[in-house]
């Protein structure tokens, strides 16, 4: 499965009502560290599609969601399960670190 583009319009359906945990990457196109994380997020989406949904939220286009979730720095990666934030990473993280957190919530 590819990475979903999450916005205010589909957030409730794709994230809050999801039967699977959801990994969300809060990013911006101009953010260098976000660009470094993008291939990692894409790999996780392909490798773990059976246990987790993966989406990206552009903070420039969705400032309300970024504020609602307290995003102060990007990239911020959150794992949300049953509508609740289970894990938050800020900054560039390794694929193995993110996969470890997925294993804890799936």
Give the mean model confidence (pLDDT) for residues 3-11: 95
Is there a domain that residue 106 lies in? no
Is there a domain that residue 50 lies in? yes
Is there a domain that residue 34 lies in? yes
Is there a domain that residue 24 lies in? yes
What is the distance between the alpha carbons of residues 22 and 41, in angstroms, rounded to a whole number? Answer: 12
Is there a domain that residue 94 lies in? yes
Domain of 17 in residue numbering reads as 4-101
Q: What is the pLDDT of residues 32-60, one digit of tens each?
A: 999 999 999 999 999 999 999 999 999 99
CATH of the domain at 13: 3.40.30.10
Kindly give, in sequence order, each residue whose CB lies less than 8 Å from that of residue 44, ignoring residues fewer than 6 positions away: 23, 52, 54, 95, 98, 99, 102
Is there a domain that residue 30 lies in? yes
Active centre residues (catalytic): 31, 34
Kindly give, in sequence order, each residue whose CB lies less than 8 Å from that of residue 103, ignoring residues fewer than 6 positions away: none
Is there a domain that residue 82 lies in? yes
User: What pLDDT, on the 0 to 100 scale, is given for residue 1?
Assistant: 61
Is there a domain that residue 8 lies in? yes
Q: What is the pLDDT of residues 57-80, one digit of tens each?
A: 999 999 999 999 999 999 999 999
Q: Determine the straight-line distance between the first and last CA of the chain, rounded to whole angstroms.
A: 17
User: What pLDDT, on the 0 to 100 scale, is given for residue 2?
Assistant: 83
Q: How many domains does the chain have?
A: 1
């Amino acid at each position: 499965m590819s990475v979903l583009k999450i916005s205010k319009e589909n957030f409730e359906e794709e994230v809050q009502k999801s039967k699977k945990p959801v990994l969300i990457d809060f990013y911006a196109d101009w953010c260098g560290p976000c660009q470094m994380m993008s291939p990692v997020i894409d790999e996780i989406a392909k490798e773990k599609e059976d246990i987790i949904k993966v989406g990206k939220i552009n903070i420039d286009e969705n400032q309300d969601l970024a504020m609602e979730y307290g995003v102060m720095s990007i990239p911020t990666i959150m794992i949300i399960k049953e509508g609740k934030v289970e894990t938050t990473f800020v900054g560039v993280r390794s694929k193995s670190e993110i996969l470890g957190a997925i294993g804890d919530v799936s």
